[in-house]
Amino acid sequence: MHGGARTDDLDALDGHGPDDAPDAPPVWIAVSDLMTGLLGLFVLFFVWSLVLQADAQQSLEAEKQARVEDQNKLQALEALLAGPIAAGRISLVDGRIGIRGSVLFDLNSAELRDEGAGLLGELAGPLGRYLEGRDEIIMVSGFTDDLPIHGRMPQFTDNWELSAQRALTVTRALVGAGVEPRRLFAAGFGEHHPAVPNTDDATRARNRRVEIVPVPRSRDGGGGAK
């Protein structure tokens, strides 16, 4: 058939047969889409790294500021307590005011000695001034050595009770000397947190102590302050 042959000839000239599929998209379009996707991922990771870097820098600055504030706090407390520290009547280590038990109490007793009462009277003023404008309270902690309570008629059942009563005695003395009651609380730890191992009379004497420590005010209403 001349008509059919003529059509076949035209298809051959065009390079396509009658059953050929439509042309596929050019390769450069697929490559362009891939590059666009990779560029998007690169931008995403870049922005993410900047955010992480900013957060890390902010955390570092906050940590530095906290260290500076802690150092200033310790210096302020040390300045207020310079007299008793220089006289060796108290120690100040990492913000902890330490008082030997023998200065405050007789052995197995929670009644203040005259020397101890006088010392707490000296500390009350500086502690009150230190607390002014600060969101802190004072924790008074009692500690004992590892020897059990002894005596013919012991007043206290065990070291827990003795340490707690000594902490209360010191707390009440500070209140009596002018420190606001709402800025104080007491805790007894017995023999369970020694400053040094209980190996002889000298180390046991060091462990019989009271510590006075400024701590952040509790946010949940605890610690006796609101």
Which helix (H) or strand (E) covers residue 180, if one does?
Answer: none
pTM of the model: 0.68
Q: Are residues 75 and 110 in the same domain?
A: no
Helix/strand number for the chain, H first, E second = 7, 5
Are 131 and 203 members of one domain? yes
Q: What is residue 226's predicted lDDT score, i.e. its pLDDT?
A: 41
Q: Are 130 and 76 in contact (CB under 8 A)?
A: yes
Instruction: Give the pLDDT of residue 13.
Output: 47
Residue 171 phi/psi, 5-degree rounding, is -60, -45
Closest CA to 143 of 126, 170, 167: 167
For 147, phi then psi, to 5°, come to -80, 140
- What pLDDT does 110 receive? 95
Burial class of residue 187, CB neighbours in 10 A (0-12, 13-18, 19+): middle
pLDDT, residue 168, reads 98
Residue 220: what pLDDT? 42
Tell whether 94 and 189 lie within a shared domain: yes
- CATH (domain of 173): 3.30.1330.60
Q: Are residues 124 and 39 in the same domain?
A: no
Contact of 119 with 222, CB cutoff 8 Å: no
- Going by DSSP bridges, is the β-strand pair 136-143/209-216 parallel, antiparallel, or unpaired? antiparallel
Residue 22 lies in a domain: no
Nearest to 98 by CA among 225, 193, 182: 193
Q: Number of folded domains in the chain?
A: 2
Q: Within this chain, do residues 104 and 69 fall inside the same structural domain, yes or no?
A: no
Q: Are residues 134 and 211 in the same domain?
A: yes
How many angstroms separate the CA atoms of 19 and 3, rounded?
18
Lookup: tokens for 186: 């007491």
User: Per the domain annotation, does 222 fall within a domain?
Assistant: no
Residue 66: which domain range? 27-80
User: E-assigned strands of the chain?
Assistant: 91-93, 96-100, 136-143, 184-188, 209-216
Residue-level pLDDT, tens digit, the chain, 226 residues: 444 545 555 454 454 555 555 555 565 566 676 677 777 778 887 788 878 887 777 777 767 775 676 677 778 888 989 988 998 899 999 889 999 999 999 999 999 999 999 999 999 999 999 998 889 999 999 999 999 987 665 789 999 999 999 999 999 999 999 999 999 999 999 999 999 999 999 999 999 999 999 999 864 444 444 4
Distances (CA, A) of 123 to 117, 143, 174: 10, 19, 8
pLDDT at 196: 96
